[in-house]
Amino acid sequence: MKQRKIRRTHFRHIIMFLLAFAYILGITACDQKNDEEFNGPPLIPENAIKKPGFSLHHGNIISSVDFYTNGTYMDAAMNADFIFAGGEVSKKDVLHKGKTYTVPAYVKTSQQDQAMALDLSKYAEKEELMNSFLGGYTIETTVQFTENPGNDTYGIFSSTQNGMFGFYAENGKFDFQHFDTNYRDVKAKEKFEIGELYHLVGVYNAHDKKISLYINGELQGSTSVTKLDFGESPFIYVLGADVGYEHAITDYSNVPSIYTSACIYSGAMTDAEVQSTYENMIGRLSDPEILTREPASDSQDYVMQNVKISGTAAAGNELVISGELINNTDTERTFKVALEHPLLMTDCKKDVQFIPVGAHRNSNFSYKLKINEGGSGLCRVRLLTDNNKTLCMENLRVVATGRGYHIGDAHTHSTLSDGKDSLKSNFEAVYNLGHSWIYTSDHNVEPQRKSFARSASKNLTDFVALVGNEITSNY
């Protein structure tokens, strides 16, 4: 009996030791997992600096605005639409450290209410775009004031109001602002000179919980922050104005100025990477071809068309997404086609395809999409270059019958009360996002106006419009 008791004791000790060891390993693994989740997008590799075309899902460049001598402008990453509210794009003389360069630029004159903005709302959904900034971001622009802005605060390159981030001119100094629970900022060490071109970079490092301002590649200072808070909309980024709201420019900065570029990156740049962007800016100023460079014609050389979805969208079924690729060049090319789809609702074994297409030939592609459960969402098919520049994109709306997550918008206002858009515009916007329903909530709307909702949703298939009412005593 004594010998058996000793063996049981040993066995009990061994079990307790193994449980303790497993517990320690579990804590370590959990800590490592939390660190990975907290870090967010990876830092931008040095060879990626100013290399256009990294999509949101690959980190790096989200948008990179270039200006051309023929008066045009474009986002080299092909992710942004533009709101152009006055000013001009033309060749302009700029001065940087004693040297004069002639470059294409966006120019604000002395006339009132001039600005331009990037609108990323068609590129990604709100939550997806916000997530790209949570691990860190970097913004970059070049600006030259041609008149003294005085001691007031003027927007240079900024995001939406009541949140997020941007560059400002305040009391003759550049100021980088970031919103966590309040506005945090880093100011330049010295005042800027009128008629001098400056290269500005603002960095938010979520892991180190700090923001930093760089001017012409040199660190001006850093300050601690807790997080990034988003304003009314993460989509609008304005050159030459204080803020944008939803899909519009609201508060203008009426000071003549010149802008030669503007970029938004996912991830926090290092000191060395910021220095590389500054050196690249000098290279662009010195490049004689910049005067004759035109927008890339890739979107005409490589074509994706006739993208469609076939099959019955229901839980347990399989859909086929197909399309046609056309190579208009004189050499064989490999097309890169990427599919994005609702992850919980659908499953696809191969999201990216590489398809060779002969010179002046065409070829077809197809995806098989398994429907795991009912729900609604968007499938996006992108035609990409080798460095992930989006040449074109098709959105396919999928609403599958069955139990699942059917996305909709539960609170909307229209021109029936204090909204900016009509019921029909609201319905179409939500419909085109892949949602399957909308709930209207205009202030104090009479019941007979339900007929407006029926009319507005008449041609929207697999879509339910629910009419509600926000009863407001002081409206």
**What CATH number belongs to 46-291?**
2.60.120.200
| Residue 301's pLDDT band (cuts 50, 70, 90) | confident
Rounded to whole angstroms, the Cα distance separating 331 from 130 reads: 40
- What average pLDDT does this structure show over 214-225? 96
Given this model, what pLDDT does residue 75 score?
Answer: 82
Q: Is the pLDDT of residue 385 over 60?
A: yes
Given this model, what pLDDT does residue 415 score?
Answer: 83
Q: Is the pLDDT of residue 12 over 80?
A: no
- What average pLDDT does this structure show over 192-198? 96
Distances from the Cα of 409 to the Cαs of 121, 406, 446, in angstroms? Answer: 16, 10, 21
Using DSSP's 3-state secondary structure scheme, residue 92 falls into strand
Tell me the range of 82-86, 201-205, 264-268, 467-471 where mean pLDDT is highest: 201-205
Given this model, what pLDDT does residue 388 score?
Answer: 65
Q: Is the pLDDT of residue 468 over 60?
A: yes
- What average pLDDT does this structure show over 364-372? 93
pLDDT: is 12 or 260 the higher one? Answer: 260
Given this model, what pLDDT does residue 13 score?
Answer: 52
Q: Is the pLDDT of residue 39 over 70?
A: no
Distances from the Cα of 226 to the Cαs of 152, 183, 207, 440, 450, in angstroms? Answer: 28, 11, 10, 36, 46
Rounded to whole angstroms, the Cα distance separating 156 from 174 reads: 9
Cα within 13 Å of Cα(108), Cβ side: 28
Rounded to whole angstroms, the Cα distance separating 72 from 168 reads: 26
| Among the ranges given (33-42, 76-85, 141-150, 275-284), the one the predictor scored with the smallest mean pLDDT | 33-42
% of the chain at pLDDT higher than 70:
78
- What average pLDDT does this structure show over 169-198? 93
- What average pLDDT does this structure show over 433-447? 83
Per domain, the residue ranges of the chain are: 46-291, 298-404, 408-467
| 396-438 pLDDT tens trace | 999 999 888 888 888 988 888 888 788 888 888 888 888 889 8
% of the chain at pLDDT higher than 90:
26
Cα pseudo-dihedral 202, 133, 58, 30, rounded to 10:
120
Q: Is 77 exposed, middle or buried (0-12, 13-18, 19+ CB in 10 A)?
A: buried
Rounded to whole angstroms, the Cα distance separating 42 from 31 reads: 18
Cα within 13 Å of Cα(178), Cβ side: 29
Amino acid at 95: L
| Residue 174's pLDDT band (cuts 50, 70, 90) | very high
**CB atoms < 10 A from the CB of 153, how many?**
14
pLDDT: is 161 or 5 the higher one? Answer: 161
Given this model, what pLDDT does residue 292 score?
Answer: 60
- What average pLDDT does this structure show over 196-204? 96
Is 227 within 8 Å of 178 (Cβ atoms)? no
Give domain 298-404's CATH superfamily.
Immunoglobulins (2.60.40.10)
Pairing of strands 165-170, 153-158: antiparallel
Q: Is the pLDDT of residue 106 over 90?
A: yes
Q: Is the pLDDT of residue 45 over 50?
A: no
Rounded to whole angstroms, the Cα distance separating 115 from 236 reads: 12
| Among the ranges given (9-13, 227-231, 302-306, 336-340), the one the predictor scored with the smallest mean pLDDT | 9-13
Given this model, what pLDDT does residue 217 score?
Answer: 94
Cα within 13 Å of Cα(353), Cβ side: 22
What mean pLDDT value characterizes the chain? 79
| Residue 59's pLDDT band (cuts 50, 70, 90) | very low
Task: With residue 144 as reference, give the H or E element that holds it.
Answer: strand 136-145
pTM score, whole prediction: 0.55
> Is residue 127 left, alpha or beta, with left meaning phi > 0 and alpha meaning psi from -120 to 50?
alpha
Is 230 within 8 Å of 164 (Cβ atoms)? yes
Q: Is the pLDDT of residue 33 over 60?
A: no
- What average pLDDT does this structure show over 128-145? 88
